[in-house]
Amino acid sequence: MNLHEFQAKELLFKNDVQIQKGYMVSNLDKVEKVANKLSSETGTEFFVVKAQIHAGGRGKGGGVKVAKSLTELKDYSSSILGMMLKTPQTPKEGKLVSKILIAEDVYYPGESENQEFYISLLLNRSTSKIMIMYSTEGGVDIESVAEKTPNLIFYEEVDPSLGLMPNQARKVAFNLGLHGTAYKNMIKFISSLYLAYVNCDASLLEINPVLKTSDNKIIAVDAKMVLDDNSLFRHKEYKDLRDESEENPVETQARAVGLNYVDLDGNIGCMVNGAGLAMATMDLIKQSGGEPANFLDVGGTADADRVEVAFNLILQDPRVKAVLVNIFGGIVRCDRVANGIVQAYKNIKDKIKVPIIVRLEGTNAEEAKDIIDNSGLKIFSASSFFNVTEIIKEVLS
* Active site members: 118, 206
Which one, 220 or 254, has the nearer CB to ligand GDP?
220
The minimum distance between CB 172 and ligand GDP, in angstroms, equals: 20
Parallel/antiparallel/unpaired status of strands 47-51 and 64-67? antiparallel
Which one, 189 or 261, has the nearer CB to ligand GDP?
189
Residue showing the smallest CB distance to Mn ion in the complex: 222
Beta-carbon-side half-sphere exposure of residue 25 (alpha carbons within 13 Å): 27
The minimum distance between CB 6 and ligand GDP, in angstroms, equals: 11
Which one, 61 or 290, has the nearer CB to ligand GDP?
61
272-301 residues near Mn ion, rule: CB under 5 A: none
22 binds, options ligand GDP, Mn ion, none, Cβ within 5 to 8 A by partner type: none
- What is the helix, strand, coil percentage profile of the chain, to 5? 40, 25, 35
Please give the Cα distance from 185 to 21 (Å, whole number).
17
Q: Is the dihedral of CA 345, 260, 303, 369 positive or negative?
A: positive
Stretch that binds Mn ion, among 200-208, 245-253, 319-327, 359-367 (CB under 5 A): 200-208
In Å, how far are 101, 111, 149, 242, 336 from 115, measured between CA atoms? 22, 10, 18, 33, 64
The minimum distance between CB 197 and Mn ion, in angstroms, equals: 17
Site residues for ligand GDP per CB under 6 A: 20, 48, 50, 56-59, 64, 66, 105-107, 139, 208-209, 221-222
Which one, 66 or 264, has the nearer CB to ligand GDP?
66
The minimum distance between CB 139 and Mn ion, in angstroms, equals: 7
Please give the Cα distance from 117 to 124 (Å, whole number).
21
| 378: phi then psi, degrees, rounded to nearest 5 | -80, 70
In Å, how far are 249, 268, 279, 280, 288 from 283, measured between CA atoms? 26, 12, 6, 5, 9
Parallel/antiparallel/unpaired status of strands 322-329 and 356-362? parallel
Which one, 64 or 187, has the nearer CB to Mn ion?
64
Please give the Cα distance from 66 to 68 (Å, whole number).
7
106 binds, options Mn ion, ligand GDP, none, Cβ within 5 to 8 A by partner type: ligand GDP
The three-class DSSP label of residue 366 is helix
Binding mask 202-231 for Mn ion (x = CB under 5 A): ------x-------------x---------
The minimum distance between CB 388 and ligand GDP, in angstroms, equals: 44
Residue showing the smallest CB distance to ligand GDP in the complex: 59
Q: Which residues bind Mn ion (CB under 5 A)?
A: 208, 222
